[in-house]
A and B are shown apart, each in its own frame.
Chain A
Amino acid sequence: MAETTLLEAPSATGASTAPRWRASARHAVGVVAPGTAVIYLSLLVLIPLAALSVTAFHGGSSAFWAAVRDPESWAALKLTLLSALVVVVLNTIAGTAIAWVLVRDQFVGKRLVSSLVDLPFALPTIVAGLTLLTLYGPDSPFHLDAAGTRFGVWIALAFVTLPFSVRAVQPVLAALEREAEEAASSLGAGSPTVFRRIVLPSLAPAMLSGAMLAFARAMGEYGSLLFISGDRPFSTEVASLRIFGLYENGQNNEAAAVSLALLSLSLVVLLLCGVLRRRLTRPEFG
């Protein structure tokens, strides 16, 4: 009995003072912290993007469409979307194969190769552009001059998006239980069947996650494309290069319109992929 009162006494007195102080302090933190985050995001991201949208429609929606349908800008947007899709499909396949080798295969130097996969992410884009031009440009040691061609654009995009495709799949593959695969092959399934029926369905959501990251990156890429693409209108000029050109010309409204079109295009594709991924990850019953 004495123990209970001893234990209860402080908390009874505390109930009148400390929790109230603590509650108000927590309340202050609960308001100040989200407030700070929102103000920071607004000043840095939201207000500038709002200004971009307003400027894009400066001359009304007809001016917006005129800027987007301008032949050079339209060609740039088409090239960007097409290249991003081509490269993302290629790198999702290559990335899954690389992840497979890094997880299931054993060889000398595997750790080094594994850490090199991150290099394109850490490397500044301008350095990536320079290195690729050294190797696949006019002075190419392999006599493989891709500068100024769409092939050059694809090489640069493949370079910068590779880490996303590999790293999204790798942990999921590492965590995959081998029992189901062993059961399937003991029941007579060949390795292509095992891969298609057992492994692929488990990897698909992760592959899609990697593809989404790679796509977002490829749509906006600038630095690594600057030199190797040659910036040729109607041929290798991607949207970000076109936007920069318009901005340098002082055509801010047109640049904002193309920017908004590019941003909307990538957000729409990402949104669709998100819906698809949710359907792929939905647990199957029965």
Chain B
Amino acid sequence: MRRLFGRFGLRTTVLAYLALLVIVPVGAIAYRAFAPGLGTAWHDLANPSGASSAGFFHALILTLVVAGIAVPFNAVFGVIAALVLARHRFPGARLLDAVIDLPVAVSPVVVGLSLVLVYGRAGWFGGWLAARGIQVIFSIPGIVMGSAFVSIPYVARAVLPVLQEIGTDQEQAAATLGAGPWQIFWRVTLPSIRWGLAYGVTLTTARVLGEFGALSVLAGNVVGHTQTLTLYVGYLFEGNLDTVGADVGAVILAVLALCVLAVVSLAGSEKGSPSWLSRFARSPRSSRTSSLSTTSL
């Protein structure tokens, strides 16, 4: 009897905690955004008072452009880094392993500031870049770099365990049959890591679409120029311009996040893992542990 009560008590407590922290807040904002009706919500978003009517659509397009550049860059880097760590032995491999996880321990604001100190007008490379007429900070390249910085670890961390699991038998077989390195990569390695890569790319996309802190330092928040969707929502809300518009923008971003979750949990159920995040909280027993603890990711 006590056991039965204990079980139901725990379940109720846990569900109540989750409800108060996660479920109710997300439901509340969706309700607030759409309570006046869908048409009003859309109108508010496209024509917020004070901001240019093109602001929202420009922000949406800029977000997609930034994701379209940053995600492929990080995907290629992630696959290379995972291949290097899984297949090659070289001095500094452990350091590379640790540095890949470093962005997770760096505050987004610090990410933005560090990039400004290198690529800004007064930064280390600022003079060189300015002499060639290249503007990085307060412009699209800076936004892309900030987004790429914060989302570096995900592809590498999703692909690395898969590479270690499949081993090199098939690659060696392909090599004995006369395949070159490129052929082996396209025909053997890439098909076997495709699920891990898909996980990593989805996570990277989610992170890039949602980045805010680094971009508020890097973008300069010029309406209709360097404002991504997250910055646009923050700007509408902070300036108290149009809270309904901000809510609708927030709901659109939340729906994007839910799509990411749906894709990932569908792919995840196939692999039998409770969640993709588990892959990142790898236990030290099952993985190459490095001297730096940040590699716990």
B250 touches A44 (CB 8 A): no
Which one of A1-9, A65-73, A265-273 is at the interface? A265-273
Q: Is A16 an interface residue (CB 8 A)?
A: no
Report the separation of the CA atoms of residues A25 and B11 in the bound assembly, to the nearest whole angstrom.
Answer: 58
Pick from B99, B113, B250 the residue with the most CB of A within 10 Å.
B113
- Indicate whether A105 reaches chain B with its CB closer than 8 angstroms: yes
Most buried by B among A118, A259, A263: A118
Distance in Å: Cβ of A26 to nearest Cβ of chain B:
6
- Contact (Cβ within 8 A) A222 B213: yes
Question: Which chain A residues in 115-138 approach chain B with CB under 8 Å?
Answer: 115-127, 130-132, 134-136
Q: Contacts of B284 on A, CB cut-off 8 Å?
A: 205, 209, 277-278, 281
Asked, given contacts A117-B275, A213-B280, A222-B213, whether A97 binds B13 with beta carbons under 8 Å apart, the answer is yes
Give complex CA distance A25, B181 in Å: 7
A187 within 8 A of B: no
For the complex, is B148 an interface residue (Cβ under 8 Å from A)? yes
Contact A126 B118, beta carbon cutoff 8 Å: no
Task: Verify A267–B250 contact, CB threshold 8 A.
Answer: no
Residues of chain A within 8 A of B281, CB atoms compared = 164, 167-168, 206, 209-210, 213
A29 vs B210: C-alpha distance in the bound complex, in angstroms? 35
Mark A166-202 against chain B: 1 for CB-CB distance below 8 A, else 0. Answer: 0110111010000000000000000100000000000
Does the CB pair A270–B217 fall under 8 Å? no
Partner of A174, one of B84, B113, B247, B274: B274
Select one of A33, A121, A226, A259 contacting B84, CB under 8 A.
Answer: A33
Interface string of B87-105 (1 = CB under 8 A from A): 0101010001001101111
| Contact A259 to B110, CB < 8 A, known contacts A124-B253, A167-B278 | yes
Asked if residues B265 and A118 are in contact (CB atoms below 8 Å), the reply is yes
A116 and B18 contact, CB distance less than 8 A:
yes
Interface of A is mostly: helix
Do residues B293 and A271 form an inter-chain contact, with CB atoms below 8 A?
yes
Question: Which of the residues B152, B180, B206 comes within 8 Å of A22, measured between beta carbons?
Answer: B180
Provide the residues of chain A in CB contact with B29, threshold 8 Å.
127, 130-131, 134
Residues of A near B108 (CB, < 8 A) are 125, 220, 222-223, 240
Q: Given contacts A131-B29, A191-B3, is CB(A263)–CB(B273) below 8 Å?
A: no
Residues of A within 8 A of B233 (CB): 126-127, 130
Q: Is A270 touching B105 in the complex (CB atoms < 8 A)? A: yes
Q: Is the CB of A270 within 8 A of B293?
A: yes
Cβ of B261 and Cβ of A26 under 8 Å apart? Answer: no
- A226 cross-chain contacts in B, Cβ below 8 A: 234, 238
Asked if A82 is an interface residue, CB under 8 A from chain B, the answer is no
Once A45-B103, A118-B261, A210-B281 are accepted as A-B contacts, the answer to whether A131 and B28 lie under 8 Å apart by CB is yes
B residues less than 8 Å from A262 (CB atoms)? 107, 110
Given contacts A125-B212, A191-B6, contact A274 B296 (CB under 8 A): yes
A217 at the interface (CB under 8 A from B): yes
CA distance A155 to B25 in the complex (A): 11
Q: Is the CB of B273 within 8 A of A171?
A: yes
* CB closest chain-B residue, reference A41: B99
Contact at A227–B106, with CB atoms within 8 Å? no
Stretch of B53-61, B75-83, B161-169 on the interface side: B75-83
5 interchain pairs (CB within 8 A)?
Answer: A123-B257, A124-B230, A125-B230, A170-B278, A209-B281
Q: Which residues of A contact B (CB under 8 A)?
A: 18, 22, 25-26, 29-30, 33-34, 36-38, 40-41, 44-49, 51-52, 55, 94, 97-98, 100-102, 105, 107, 113-127, 130-132, 134-136, 141, 155, 158-159, 162-164, 167-168, 170-172, 174, 191, 205-206, 209-210, 212-213, 216-217, 219-223, 226-227, 239-241, 243-244, 247, 252, 255-256, 259, 262-263, 266-267, 270-275, 277-278, 281
